Each structure stands twice: as C-alpha cells, then as structure tokens.
Structure 1
Amino acid sequence: MQSTVNYLWHTDDLLGQGATASVYKARNKKSGELVAVKVFNTASYLRPREVQVREFEVLRKLNHQNIVKLFAVEETGGSRQKVLVMEYCSSGSLLSVLESPENAFGLPEEEFLVVLRCVARVNTLSGSKDRLPPKVSPRHEAVPGQRTSSPLSAVAGMNHLRENGIVHRDIKPGNILRLLGEEGQSIYKLTDFGAARELDDDEKFVSVYGTEEYLHPDMYERAVLRKPQQKTFGVTVDLWSIGVTLYHAATGSLPFIPYGGPRRNKEMMYRITTEKPAGAIAGTQKQENGPLEWSYTLPVTCRLSLGLQSQLVPILANILEVEQAKCWGFDQFFAETSDILQRVVVHVFSLSQAVLHHVYIHAHNTIAIFLEAVYEQTRVAPQHQKFLFEGHFWVLEPNLSAQHIAHTTASSPLTLLSTASETPMGLAFKDPAQDIPKFFPKVDLQADYTTAKSVLGAGYQALWLARTLLAGQELMLRGLHWCVETLQATCRRTLEVTRMALLFLSSSLGTERFSSVAGMTEMQELKKVTELRSRLRALAEALSRCSHSITESQTSLSNLRSELLKNRDQVHADRSVQQIQYCLDKMNLIYKQFKKSRMRPGLGYNEEQIHKLDKVNFSRLAKRLLLQLFQETCVQKYQTSLVTHGRWMREVHETRNHLRMVSCSVAAYNTEAQGAQEGLSQILDRVSHQLLQDRTKEAQVSPPLTAPYPSPALTDLVLQMQELCEEMKLLAFDLQDNNRVIEGLSWPPSAPDS
C-alpha cells in the first residue's frame, strides 16, 4: 500500500504506466471516493524543473467537462514523490473501447458522434482567442429529430485547450478516457498533459513528444527516425493526431499501415505519410516491398452511414496534410466539425433500392435542400421523389423549413418512393469471414490470443451485419405493404367512382321513356338522340371494362398483400441473430481465458490440454457463426429477399402505372359521357318545351268538347319529359363531380404547387 496525506492506493491497482509515471486507482481516506493518482518515478526528476512542473500548471489552468479534473497535488510519505490526484474514469479509454472485439471495425455512428462532440466540438465561451463563428449558426429551438447536446458535452475539450493557448502534443485514443454519465451516456475526457505546453498562435517549438503512430510526419522524422533537421512545429501538429484518432475511431484501424506494421517498418511508415496524395485519407502496403495503395474514402467495413462519411472525409483529408500551407487551421477544423454536430439526421429508406440512408441537414434549411441531399445519396431526382411515413403519404413542400419533416429513426424512417423502376441494390458489405487468421496447431499463448481476438471481432461484425440485414428486410416488407395498402385504397375509390358513373348511365339508358320521346321528335332530333344513346352505351361498356380491370388489380394486390404478410411473419420468426449472439457469448468466454493465459509464462500439462480443447471449440463456434448462420442463413435469405423484393416492386410499379392509365381512361369516359348527357339534356329541353307549346295551341284552337282538362296521356308525357330533363342535368353534374374525384386519385399524389 502507498499513500499521501489524503489518499491511499495499492500498487496492484495499476491503471496505466509510462516512461515517467504510473497511474493507480486510489481512494480518499475520509470519503472513500475513487480517484486516479499519477505517481512520478525517479526518471521524471531527471527532467528540467520547468518540464516537471508543466503538467501541474497546465491542469490547474484548465477547467472543462471534457478534460480530466485535477483535484490536488500531494506527495508520498517516504520518498516524497509528487502525486497528481485526478478524476477517475471507470470505463477505460477510447483505446480500450476500440480494442474491444465489438469495435474491431470502428465505433457505431452514435458513439462516434459522442467522441467527435467531446473531443472537437466548437464552443461559444467568452474570451477565446481568434475564435471564428461556426459556418452555420446553430438553432436553439427544439427540433424534431435533432441531436441535442447534454451539458456534459456542450463544449469541446480540444477547443478549450485552444482558447487557453495550450498544445497537447500527445493526442491519441489512449489519452481520451471514458466514463458513463448518470443516464448511461458516454463522456470522453482528454488526459495526460505531460507533453503539453502553452503556446501562442504564431509561436513554434522544437522539442518532440508523442506516440509514433499518431505523430505528425515532421515530428516523426526527428523523434522516430532520428534524422537531424531544423524544423519547428506549431499548434497544428495536434490536428494530425486528431485526424489519425478520428480515423481510428471510425474504422477500428490506423490510417497508415506499412507491410509488417508501423513499429516494424518505420521508414515505410514515414514514406506513406509524406508521399500521401492530396485528398487521400489512408495508405497501406499489403506486400513486402510492394506498392502503396491509397484510399480516398472510409472502408466498406466502417459502420458509419454514408451520410456521415460524406461530411467526415473532407475534414480528415484536410487535417491529414503534411504541408502546413495546405493543412486546415484550428478555426476551420472546429467550424467544420461543429457544422456536422449541429445537423439534423433524417433517416430515409429508399424502397426501390432497398437501402437506408442518413441525411444530415440543418434544421433551418429548406425542404428543397433536403430533397437535393436525398438526391446526392440516392440519385433519385427531386421531381421523382415521393415519401411515405408510417403508412401515409408525406407531402414535402420545397419552400418550407426542414423542421416540418417528421421525426425519424433507423427503425421508423421516411420511405422514399421513386416513380422510376429500379433494381434493388441492398446493403453493400464485406464478408467478415474474409482474411481472418487461423490458429496454429501448436500452443502459442500470445498468437492464440491475437487470433481469437481477430476472429471474435469478425463475429461481432457479422452480428451487426445480421441485425442490419434483418432490419432491411423488415423495412422492405413494411414499405411494400404500405404501397399495396395505398394502391388498394386507390382501387376502391376509383372503382366506386366508376360504378357510380355506370349506375347513372344504366339508370338513364334503361328507362322506357326514351321510346316515348323518340316517337314525338323530328327525324333529325331522333337521329341525334339515337347517336348519343349509342355513344352512352359504348361508354357504359368501356366503364364496365375499367371496373373489371380494377377488380383484377384488387385481386392481384390482395394476393401480393398475403405474400407480404407471410414473409413478414417469417422475418419476425427468424432467430439467426439470437443464434449468432449465443455463439459469440460462448466464444467470448474462451477469448477472456486466452487473454488471461497470455500473461502467464506457460501452462501446465492439464491446462495446456484444456487450452487445446478451447481452440477446437472456438474454431467450431466460429465456423458455425460465420459460415452457417451468417453466410448460409442471413446472407442467403437477404439475397433471396432482394430478388423477391425486385419482383414485387416491378409488380407494384406496373399496377401503379396501370391504375394511372385506368384512372385517366375513366376520367376521359366521364368527360365524354358528360358531354353526351348535356346534349341529350338540351334535346329533352327542346322536346319538353315543344310539347308544352303544342298543348297550349291545341287548347286555344279546338277546346275539348267532352272535358275541360288535357288528356292524361299527354300530361304524363310532359311531366316525364321534364323529369327526364332534370335527371340528365343531375347526371351531367354527377359525372363532372366524378372527374374531380378521379383527378385526386393519382398515385403517388403530387406535391401542391409552391
């Protein structure tokens, strides 16, 4: 046990160790509160006095939620070694998070955004030096779907250093500690200021510190390769380290990797970083003495959405620049990262492509800008974009604010419908089983641990992909179900309008009163009435065919709906994700034993036999997980679902176009029937008027001898004519109203004019 006046710790509780100090978990003697103590060794006192006290002074000056707090500076009792008493972060470091097999291919998107926010977000504290306003002013209103920062991550630790004129000089995942907040959220804090120093914007330094994989190439040349040079370094060297750290967090690997690794091939490491073309964010050498391969995008295994990648890659490209003249400054870096963090995420599932997109826009942007952003990711032009949300069409007016867009999640996105038929692409991914190592037959504790870690990482990637593929199938089926429901509703409304028109036409054409009228009219009018009635009969037959066609579409849609429901039941019953998780749990237990065993000098005979059995069981579980459950079950089901989805989408597309044609035909038939009905109505008006005139003349010329009233037959005929005339007018009005209804039946509906 060791202690200071107020704190106590055991040397077994080691949290970390460096060249000049060790960090232990300790307790306050009075309160029992957990803290971290940094105890400096003898080598630290060989440094100049100003270097020894620099870390104390820097930490005293800093006060920020994303920087580890300094509580006290004390001394041990016997040796009087200096001890820094600091905030204890119980969840390790960002490096330990990245070294966990769950994050072998990088952090999930939400966790990466937390890292980005805590490490680099711009702030608006007063008194900052040369602070540029962010490129886009933030909105403080509550916006649906907008990420809001907690008070614990409202400003960035890095920018706080910038405001205080401090360059860290050793930024890396191992120096970014993690703790959990009261609500279970991650909070990342910058630590280890042993290499930090105060520096004005235009001031330079010549001393070299840092961890070689994260060093700026100019510093790497002198510190690692030991080459003499007269270069000085400015505050922007931290930007290179931030770029490497962010790439590591996004992908799970370093951006610059020579053959054999950075530590074994230092000359090639330096060559990669200095020869990197402009815009490239990564470089690798896959063969000994082989060519360098450059990457301008994040790898396909990265779990960040393409929407976020498109925002992040330009930042990485501009801070991973060797030449100071080409590299961004801190102000632009903070402005650009702040721009990302102030954006709203709108989840959009392209139904025709079967791909989920994350669209990053500002809440105060117009919907027209959102539609353009959707086009950039989907290549579906704004005029061809139609959206469903929770089963209903969501009409987006281009001039409105993006605040009017519904609050979306990955499981409840906007569903994008394209008016053009496309072949579903689905999720692009790399098979995690590719390039994974195999166990050597002999027992090698370190090699076995490394192999188990790589295979387990591939297993966790397979789990993430399995969940994503299953969620994609659910979104495909749900979106198609909504399309079918909408088309069926269109069928019902169109069929109702068509049958109503048929009913009116049948009622008019079926009456026997036309024969009485025909017998009373002149030859020319009789011919006209006959032509109009023939045309109305033809229109009635055409509408009847339309009605039959709509009924057939209804039957086809009902069959498709039944297939969709059957497939949704199958997706819900799928247990492959649970089976993969079961295998991972078993593999994880073996991995933890390998991790524990590698620290031992060797194993006894019985322990070695158990170790060999564990390797066999681990390999068996990995084969079942990666080959049987993932490749042969998850991937094959997903590929089959894409083929089926494409067939169903074509059927929906054809039905939609067919219904549009039928609706147009019904509208045209109604318009023509309306004209014919108006023509008949005019003739009936004239006939009725002529009958009344003839009756009046007959009454005046030869009054009846036997009765003072007209004959009942003639009176009935006049009344029938008047009644029929009114019916024709009503029918024409109803047909006109039907046309207005049909005009509203287009699918998908058009957005209202701006």
Structure 2
Amino acid sequence: MQSTVNYLWHTDDLLGQGATASVYKARNKKSGELVAVKVFNTASYLRPREVQVREFEVLRKLNHQNIVKLFAVEETGGSRQKVLVMEYCSSGSLLSVLESPENAFGLPEEEFLVVLRCVARVNTLSGSKDRLPPKVSPRHEAVPGQRTSSPLSAVAGMNHLRENGIVHRDIKPGNILRLLGEEGQSIYKLTDFGAARELDDDEKFVSVYGTEEYLHPDMYERAVLRKPQQKTFGVTVDLWSIGVTLYHAATGSLPFIPYGGPRRNKEMMYRITTEKPAGAIAGTQKQENGPLEWSYTLPVTCRLSLGLQSQLVPILANILEVEQAKCWGFDQFFAETSDILQRVVVHVFSLSQAVLHHVYIHAHNTIAIFLEAVYEQTRVAPQHQKFLFEGHFWVLEPNLSAQHIAHTTASSPLTLLSTASETPMGLAFKDPAQDIPKFFPKVDLQADYTTAKSVLGAGYQALWLARTLLAGQELMLRGLHWCVETLQATCRRTLEVTRMALLFLSSSLGTERFSSVAGMTEMQELKKVTELRSRLRALAEALSRCSHSITESQTSLSNLRSELLKNRDQVHADRSVQQIQYCLDKMNLIYKQFKKSRMRPGLGYNEEQIHKLDNRLAKRLLLQLFQETCVQKYQTSLVTHGRWMREVHETRNHLRMVSCSVAAYNTEAQGAQEGLSQILDRVSHQLLQDRTKEAQVSPPLTAPYPSPALTDLVLQMQELCEEMKLLAFDLQDNNRVIEGLSWPPSAPDS
C-alpha cells in the first residue's frame, strides 16, 4: 500500500505505466471516492526543473469537460515523490476500446463521432490566441427529434483552450481516457500532459516527445532513427498525431504499416510517411522488400457510412501531410470537424440499389441541397427522386428548410424510388474470414492467443455484417411492399373511375335516346350522329380493355404481395444472428482461456489437444455460419429483389401506358361531345324556327309537332350533351388520378 495525506492505493491497481511515472487507482481516505494518482519515479527527477513542473502548471490552467481534471498535487509519505491526484476514468482508454476484439475493424459510427467531438474540442489547444472561431450559422437548428452536437459548446471549448495556447505533443489513443456518463454515453478525456507546453502559433520547439507510431515524420526521424537534424517543430505536429489517431479509431488499425510492423521496420516506416503522395491517407507494404501500396479511401471493412467517410477523408488527407507548410492549421481543422459535428444525418435507403445511405446535411440547408447530396451518393438526379416514408409518399419541396425532412433512423429511413431500372448492388463488404491468420500446427501459446483474438475480432465483424445484411433484406422487402401497396391503390382508383366511365357510356349510347334524335334530323345529320355513336362505342370497348388490363395488373401485384409477405416472415424467423452470437460467446470463452494459458510455461498433452480442437472449432464455426448462411441468403435476396424490382418497374410502366391511353380516349370523348353539342345546337335551333313558322300560320293545337313533345326532345338532347360533358370530366379526373398515384414520377426521357 502507498498513500499521501488524503489518498490511498495499492500497487496492484496499476492503470498505466510510462518512462517517468505510473498511474494507479486510488481512494480518498475520508470519502472513499475513486481517483487516479500519477506517481513519478526516480527517472522523472533527472529532468530539468521546468520540465518536472510543466505538467502541474498546464493542468492547473485547463478546465474543460474533455480534459482529465487535476484535483490536487501531493507527496508520498516516505520518498516524498510527487503525486498528481486526477479524475478517474473507469472505462479505460480509447486504446483499450480499440484493442477489444469487438472493435477490431474500427468503432461504430456513433462512437466515432463522440471521439471526433472530443478531439475537435480538445485539440484546438494549439490554436493561437488571436484566431477567430469558425463561422457558425446563427440559425443552426436541429431537425426535430434528432440529436446533434451543439456548435456553441464546441466553440466554448475552443475558446477556453485557445486562450491557453498549449501543444500536447503526445496525442494517441492511449492518452484519451473513457468514462460513461449518467445515461450510458461515452465521454472521452485527454490526459497525460507530461510532454505538453505553452506555444504560440509561430513559435517552434526542438525537443522530441511522443509515441513513435503517432509521431510526425520529422520528429520520428530524430527521435526513432536517431538521425541528426536541425529542424524545429510547430504546433501542427499535433495534427499528424490526431490524423493517425482518427484513422486508427475509424479502421481499427494504423494507417502506415511496413512489412513486419512499425516497430520492426523503422526505416521503411519513415519512408512510407515521407514518400506518401498528396491525398493518400494510408500506406502499407505487404511483402518484404515489396512495393508500397497507397490508399486514398478508408478500407471496406470500416464501419463508418460512406456519407461520413466522404466528410472525413479530406480532413485526414490534409492533416496527414508531411510538409508543415502544406498541412492545415488548427483553425481549418477545427472548422472542418465542427462542420461535420454540426450536421444532422438523414438515412436514405435506395430501393433500386438496395443500399442504405447516411446523408450529412446542415439543418438550415434547403431541401434542394439535400436532394443534391442524395444525388452525390446515389447518382439519382433530383428530378428523378421520389421518397416514401413509413409507407406514404413524402413530398419534399426544394425551397423549404431541411427541418421539414422526416426524423429518420437506420431502421426507419426515407425510401428512395427511382425511374431507372438497375441491378441492385447491395452492401459492399469483405469476408471477415479473409483477415484470420492461420493457426500453427504446433501449439504456440502466445501466437495462438494472438490468432484467437483475430478470430474473435473477425467473429464480431461477422456479427455486425450479419445484422446489417439482415436489416438490408428487411428494408428491401418493406420498401417493395410499400411500392406494391401504392400501385394497387393506383389500380383500384383507376379501375373505379374507368368502370364509372363505362357505365355512363353504356347509358349514353342507348338506342332509344339516339333514335329520337335521328328521327328529327336530316340524312347528313343522321350520318354524323351515327359516326359519333361508333366512335363512342369504340371508346367504350377501349376502356373495357383498359379495365381488363388493370385487373390483370391487380392480380399480378397481389401475387407479388403474397411472395413479399412470405419472404418477410422468413426474414423475421431467421436465427443466423442469434446463432453467430451464440458462437461468439463460445469463442469468447476460448479467447479468455488462451489469454490465461499464454501466461503458463506450457500445457500438458491433453490440454494441447483441446487447445488445437478449440482453434479449428472457432474458425470453422465462423466460416460456416457467416459464409454458408448469411452471405448466401443475402446474395439470393439481392437476385430476387432485382427480379421483383423489374416486375414493379414493368407494372409501373404499364400503368403509365394505360394513363396515356385513357388520356387519348379522353380527347376522343371530348371531340365526340363537342360534335354532339354542335348537332344538338343546330337541331334545337331548327326545331325552334319550325315551331315559330308553324305558329304564325296555324293554331298551336294543329301544329305537326306539339309543344310538349318538342320541349321534351330539346331537353332530352340537352341532357345527353350534359352527360357527355360529365363523361369528359370523369375521364380527365381518371387521368389525373393515374398521374397523381403513378410511381415513380414520369421522367421526360422515360
């Protein structure tokens, strides 16, 4: 046990150890409160006095939610060693989070954004005191129901740290501690300011600190390769360390890896970082003395969405820049990271592509900007975009604010419909089994432990992929179901109006009514009436064919709907995720056993045999469950989805053709109505003239056409004309219904 006046700790409760100090978990003697104590060793006192006290002075100045708090500076009783009493972060460090097999391929998107927020707030501490904060829109409002980072809090953190003008000089995942907030959310805090110092923007330093994998190449050359040089270093060296840290957090691995690893091939490590082309964010050497391979994007195994990657990659490219003159300053870095953190996410599932997109936009942007962002990710032009949300069309007016977009989640996104018929791409992924190293036939406890950890990491990646693939199948089926429901509604409405028009045509074409008109007209008028009746009869037959065609479409859609429901039941009954989770639990036990066994000098024969069986079992289970179950089902679902999408596309085009036909029949009906109206006008006018003349020469009672009969005839013809007008209106309404309900909207060139 060791203690100071107010705190007590056991040397077994070691949290971390460095060249000059060790950190322990301790308790307050009176309250029992948990704290962390940093106890400096003898080597630390060999440093100059100003270096020894620098960490105390820096921590006393800083007071920020993303910096570990300093409570007191005390001394141990016997040796009178200096002790820093600091805030205790119970959940380890970002490095321990990344070393967990669960995050072998990088952090989930939400957790990465938490880390980014911490880094953006804290690491502007190298900023100049005269620097202005980045512009923030005064009307930055969140989309209702969505959580966003507050620009004001970020700016406040920047202002606090900028005033101190401090460079950390040892930024790495191990120096970013994690604790859980009251609601279970992660809070990351920067610690270990032993290498920190105050530094203005234009001031330089020559001393070298830091961890070699995260060191700027100029510092690496002198500190690791021990090459003499006269270079000085500015505040931007922290940006290089931040870039490596962010890449590590996003991918689970370091960006620059020579063959054999950074610690074994230091010369090649230096060469990779200094020869890196502009825009590249990673470089690897996969064979001994082999060529260097550069990457300008994050790997496909990264769990960040392409929407976030498109925002992050330019930042990494500009802070992982060797030449300090070309590297961004902290002002630009903070402006760009704050821009990401101030955005909201709109989840968009492209039904034709079968891909879920995360679209990052500002809440104060217009919907037109959102539609353009959707185009950048999907290549579907804004004029061809139509959206469904929870089964209903969601109309997005380009001039409105993005705040009018629905609150979306990954499981409840906007569904993007497109006029184009394309083969579904689906989720692009890499089989986790490809990253599993081979087990050696001979038992090697340390190597087997490392391999077991890799297998477990691949298992967690397989679990994440299995969940993602299953969710993708659910979104495909749900989106198609909504499309079918919409098309069926179109069919019902169109069929109803078409049948009403047919009924009206049947009554309007009655022989008795037209025969009375024919009996009162001349031969030429009678011929025109006959022609019009023939046109109307042909129109009725055409509408009847349309009605039959729509009925066939209804039947086809009903069959498709039944298939969709059957497949949705199968997806809901899929237990592959639970099976992989069960196997992961078993693999965890194997991993823990290997972790425990590596500390032993050796295993007995029986233990070795079990050890070998466990190795093979873990890998076989992973391959079978993921490859033979999840991947095959997903690939089959993509093929089926493509077939169903083509069927929906063909049905939509067929209904569009019906719409055009009905429009043409509407035009014919209008022409027939106009022709009948003209005949009616002429006949009525002639009858009235005849009646007038007859009235002048004969008494009304002896008129050849009694007044009541004449009046009935005129009224009958007027009624017929009005009914024909109603027919035209009904057909116009029919056309509007089909155009309004058709999916997706008609494109000029389709």
TM-score, with structure 2 as normaliser:
0.95
C-alpha spacing 1:138/1:40, structure 2 compared with 1 (3 Å): farther
**Superposed displacement of residue 492, structure 1:** 1.2
Q: Distance in 2 between matches of 1:362 and 1:164?
A: 31
Does structure 1 conserve the Cα–Cα contact (< 8 Å) formed by 2:346 and 2:358? yes
Does structure 2 conserve the Cα–Cα contact (< 8 Å) formed by 1:346 and 1:407? yes
Does structure 1 conserve the Cα–Cα contact (< 8 Å) formed by 2:94 and 2:174? yes
State the partner residue of 1:512.
512
C-alpha spacing 1:661/1:196, structure 2 compared with 1 (3 Å): same
Instruction: Tell me the secondary structure at the aligned position of residue 155 of structure 1.
Output: helix
C-alpha spacing 1:64/1:541, structure 2 compared with 1 (3 Å): same
Does structure 2 conserve the Cα–Cα contact (< 8 Å) formed by 1:437 and 1:454? yes
Q: How many residues get paired? A: 750
C-alpha spacing 1:752/1:83, structure 2 compared with 1 (3 Å): farther
**Superposed displacement of residue 509, structure 1:** 0.4
CA offsets 1:311-342 (integer angstroms, 9 cap, x no match):
11111011111101111111111111111111
CA offsets 1:408-441 (integer angstroms, 9 cap, x no match):
1111111111111111111111111114112223
Q: Distance in 2 between matches of 1:92 and 1:393?
A: 47
Does structure 2 conserve the Cα–Cα contact (< 8 Å) formed by 1:469 and 1:638? yes
C-alpha spacing 1:292/1:722, structure 2 compared with 1 (3 Å): closer
Instruction: Tell me the secondary structure at the aligned position of residue 287 of structure 1.
Output: coil
**Superposed displacement of residue 37, structure 1:** 0.6
C-alpha spacing 1:301/1:476, structure 2 compared with 1 (3 Å): same
C-alpha spacing 1:468/1:437, structure 2 compared with 1 (3 Å): same
C-alpha spacing 1:21/1:535, structure 2 compared with 1 (3 Å): same
**Superposed displacement of residue 132, structure 1:** 3.1
**Superposed displacement of residue 556, structure 1:** 0.8
Which 10-residue stretch deviates more, 114-123 or 479-488?
114-123
Which 10-residue stretch deviates more, 585-594 or 102-111?
585-594
C-alpha spacing 1:88/1:602, structure 2 compared with 1 (3 Å): farther
Which 10-residue stretch deviates more, 680-689 or 209-218?
680-689
Q: Distance in 1 between matches of 2:573 and 2:653?
A: 34
**Superposed displacement of residue 677, structure 1:** 1.7
Equivalent pairs: percent with the same residue?
Answer: 100
Q: Which runs of 5+ in 2 are unaligned?
A: none
**Superposed displacement of residue 622, structure 1:** 2.7
Q: Distance in 2 between matches of 1:697 and 1:544?
A: 47
**Superposed displacement of residue 140, structure 1:** 4.2
Which 10-residue stretch deviates more, 705-714 or 690-699?
705-714
Which 10-residue stretch deviates more, 434-443 or 334-343?
434-443
CA offsets 1:556-577 (integer angstroms, 9 cap, x no match):
1111111111111111110000
Does structure 2 conserve the Cα–Cα contact (< 8 Å) formed by 1:123 and 1:156? no
CA offsets 1:473-522 (integer angstroms, 9 cap, x no match):
11111111111111111111111221122111111102412112212210
Where in structure 2 are the equivalents of 1:131-530 lying within 5 Å? 131-134=131-134, 136-137=136-137, 139-144=139-144, 146-149=146-149, 154=154, 161-530=161-530
Q: Distance in 2 between matches of 1:140 and 1:126?
A: 27
**Superposed displacement of residue 750, structure 1:** 7.2
Does structure 1 conserve the Cα–Cα contact (< 8 Å) formed by 2:243 and 2:320? yes
Q: Distance in 2 between matches of 1:169 and 1:748?
A: 56
**Superposed displacement of residue 208, structure 1:** 0.6
C-alpha spacing 1:421/1:743, structure 2 compared with 1 (3 Å): closer
CA offsets 1:111-142 (integer angstroms, 9 cap, x no match):
00000001113899999713333255364434
Q: Which runs of 5+ in 1 are unaligned?
A: none
Does structure 2 conserve the Cα–Cα contact (< 8 Å) formed by 1:364 and 1:401? yes
C-alpha spacing 1:63/1:558, structure 2 compared with 1 (3 Å): same
Q: Distance in 2 between matches of 1:324 and 1:572?
A: 55
Which 10-residue stretch deviates more, 363-372 or 573-582?
363-372
C-alpha spacing 1:734/1:266, structure 2 compared with 1 (3 Å): closer
Does structure 2 conserve the Cα–Cα contact (< 8 Å) formed by 1:671 and 1:739? no
**Superposed displacement of residue 593, structure 1:** 2.0
Does structure 1 conserve the Cα–Cα contact (< 8 Å) formed by 2:532 and 2:676? yes
C-alpha spacing 1:19/1:606, structure 2 compared with 1 (3 Å): farther
Instruction: Tell me the secondary structure at the aligned position of residue 121 of structure 1.
Output: helix
Q: Distance in 1 between matches of 2:295 and 2:127?
A: 40
Instruction: Tell me the secondary structure at the aligned position of residue 412 of structure 2.
Output: coil
C-alpha spacing 1:739/1:566, structure 2 compared with 1 (3 Å): closer
C-alpha spacing 1:165/1:743, structure 2 compared with 1 (3 Å): closer
C-alpha spacing 1:123/1:671, structure 2 compared with 1 (3 Å): farther
CA offsets 1:219-242 (integer angstroms, 9 cap, x no match):
111110111111111111101000
Q: Distance in 1 between matches of 2:151 and 2:702?
A: 106
**Superposed displacement of residue 685, structure 1:** 3.4
**Superposed displacement of residue 701, structure 1:** 3.0
Does structure 1 conserve the Cα–Cα contact (< 8 Å) formed by 2:408 and 2:414? yes
Does structure 1 conserve the Cα–Cα contact (< 8 Å) formed by 2:307 and 2:357? yes
Which 10-residue stretch deviates more, 514-523 or 247-256?
514-523
Q: Distance in 2 between matches of 1:38 and 1:713?
A: 115
State the partner residue of 2:714.
718
Does structure 1 conserve the Cα–Cα contact (< 8 Å) formed by 2:140 and 2:364? no
Which 10-residue stretch deviates more, 438-447 or 577-586?
438-447
Does structure 2 conserve the Cα–Cα contact (< 8 Å) formed by 1:215 and 1:241? yes
C-alpha spacing 1:600/1:539, structure 2 compared with 1 (3 Å): same
Which 10-residue stretch deviates more, 199-208 or 169-178?
199-208
**Superposed displacement of residue 626, structure 1:** 2.5
Q: Let me know the Cα RMSD of the aligned residues.
A: 2.8
Q: Distance in 2 between matches of 1:408 and 1:105?
A: 26
**Superposed displacement of residue 710, structure 1:** 3.5
Instruction: Tell me the secondary structure at the aligned position of residue 126 of structure 2.
Output: coil
C-alpha spacing 1:31/1:218, structure 2 compared with 1 (3 Å): same
C-alpha spacing 1:123/1:143, structure 2 compared with 1 (3 Å): farther
C-alpha spacing 1:387/1:751, structure 2 compared with 1 (3 Å): farther
Instruction: Tell me the secondary structure at the aligned position of residue 178 of structure 2.
Output: strand
Which 10-residue stretch deviates more, 512-521 or 87-96?
512-521
Does structure 2 conserve the Cα–Cα contact (< 8 Å) formed by 1:135 and 1:339? no
Q: Distance in 2 between matches of 1:401 and 1:371?
A: 12
Q: Distance in 1 between matches of 2:700 and 2:444?
A: 129
Q: Distance in 1 between matches of 2:464 and 2:25?
A: 34
**Superposed displacement of residue 305, structure 1:** 0.6
**Superposed displacement of residue 267, structure 1:** 0.5
C-alpha spacing 1:138/1:111, structure 2 compared with 1 (3 Å): farther
Q: Distance in 2 between matches of 1:158 and 1:169?
A: 18
Q: Distance in 2 between matches of 1:739 and 1:647?
A: 29
Does structure 2 conserve the Cα–Cα contact (< 8 Å) formed by 1:490 and 1:747? no
C-alpha spacing 1:684/1:456, structure 2 compared with 1 (3 Å): same
Does structure 1 conserve the Cα–Cα contact (< 8 Å) formed by 2:353 and 2:423? yes
Q: Distance in 2 between matches of 1:527 and 1:741?
A: 36
Q: Distance in 2 between matches of 1:127 and 1:211?
A: 22
Instruction: Tell me the secondary structure at the aligned position of residue 745 of structure 2.
Output: coil
Which 10-residue stretch deviates more, 164-173 or 593-602?
593-602
CA offsets 1:91-114 (integer angstroms, 9 cap, x no match):
000000000000000000000000
Does structure 2 conserve the Cα–Cα contact (< 8 Å) formed by 1:347 and 1:356? yes
**Superposed displacement of residue 387, structure 1:** 1.1
**Superposed displacement of residue 452, structure 1:** 0.3
Which 10-residue stretch deviates more, 718-727 or 419-428?
718-727
Q: Distance in 2 between matches of 1:124 and 1:182?
A: 27
**Superposed displacement of residue 392, structure 1:** 1.2
C-alpha spacing 1:660/1:151, structure 2 compared with 1 (3 Å): closer
C-alpha spacing 1:752/1:2, structure 2 compared with 1 (3 Å): farther
Does structure 2 conserve the Cα–Cα contact (< 8 Å) formed by 1:257 and 1:269? yes
Does structure 2 conserve the Cα–Cα contact (< 8 Å) formed by 1:396 and 1:751? no
**Superposed displacement of residue 670, structure 1:** 1.4
C-alpha spacing 1:670/1:279, structure 2 compared with 1 (3 Å): same
**Superposed displacement of residue 154, structure 1:** 4.4
Does structure 2 conserve the Cα–Cα contact (< 8 Å) formed by 1:459 and 1:625? no
C-alpha spacing 1:25/1:607, structure 2 compared with 1 (3 Å): farther
Does structure 2 conserve the Cα–Cα contact (< 8 Å) formed by 1:121 and 1:337? no
Q: Distance in 2 between matches of 1:26 and 1:152?
A: 35
CA offsets 1:504-544 (integer angstroms, 9 cap, x no match):
11111024121122122101101110111111111111111
**Superposed displacement of residue 720, structure 1:** 3.6
Q: Distance in 2 between matches of 1:543 and 1:568?
A: 37
Instruction: Tell me the secondary structure at the aligned position of residue 123 of structure 1.
Output: helix
Does structure 2 conserve the Cα–Cα contact (< 8 Å) formed by 1:684 and 1:724? no
Does structure 1 conserve the Cα–Cα contact (< 8 Å) formed by 2:670 and 2:728? yes
**Superposed displacement of residue 597, structure 1:** 2.6
**Superposed displacement of residue 686, structure 1:** 2.9
